[in-house]
Each structure stands twice: as C-alpha cells, then as structure tokens.
Amino acid sequence: MDDLDRAQELEMESRNAAIANQIKKQGKTTLSHCQDCGDAIPLRRQKMGGVNRCVECQTYFEQAQRKFK
Ligand SMILES: [Zn+2]
C-alpha cells in the first residue's frame, strides 16, 4: 500500500513538473527586436522561443546575472 502511494506521488510530481514546464514555455515571449538595444533579432534565433534580446545583449545579460550569483 505504501509503495502504491509513493508511486502515485511520484507520478503526480512528474506530471506537475511537466505542466509547470509547459506554462514556463508558453509564458516566454519572443520578440522580433531586442528589448535592450532595439536591434532586430535574427529569425533563426526567434525560432528558439522565449528570445527577447539579441545575441550581444543576451550574452551581456547572462554575464551580469552570473556576477550576482
Ligand atoms: Zn540587443
């Protein structure tokens, strides 16, 4: 009985994680122009989804984030 409960719990957890992931993906906005500098974001990059900065600004942004951690 305990094993069954645990299995159900695990299933719930993975399902919730999958749903949370989906929401995260949908919540990500993709812009045609960089939100920081206004440069056009290459279509190839837009297709990745959730892209809102050009390569340069994204690199800069990620480096800045790393510094804060
Ligand atoms: Zn930019």
How many Å lie between the centroid of ligand 1 and the Cα of residue 69?
Answer: 23
pLDDT score recorded for residue 27: 63
pLDDT score recorded for residue 16: 85
How many Å lie between the centroid of ligand 1 and the Cα of residue 59?
Answer: 9
Per-residue pLDDT tens over the stretch 28-53: 788 999 999 999 999 998 988 889 99
How many Å lie between the centroid of ligand 1 and the Cα of residue 31?
Answer: 11
Which band of pLDDT confidence, cut at 50, 70 and 90, is reported for residue 63? very high
How many Å lie between the centroid of ligand 1 and the Cα of residue 9?
Answer: 44
Q: Does the pLDDT value for residue 62 go beyond 70?
A: yes
Query: What letter would DSSP give residue 33?
Result: B
Give pTM, 2 decimals. 0.55
Q: Would you list the domain boundaries of the chain?
A: 1-29, 31-69
Contact 37, 57 (CB under 8 A): yes
Token pair 């500098």: residue: 37
Q: Which of 67, 42, 62, 69 is nearest to 54 (CA)?
A: 42
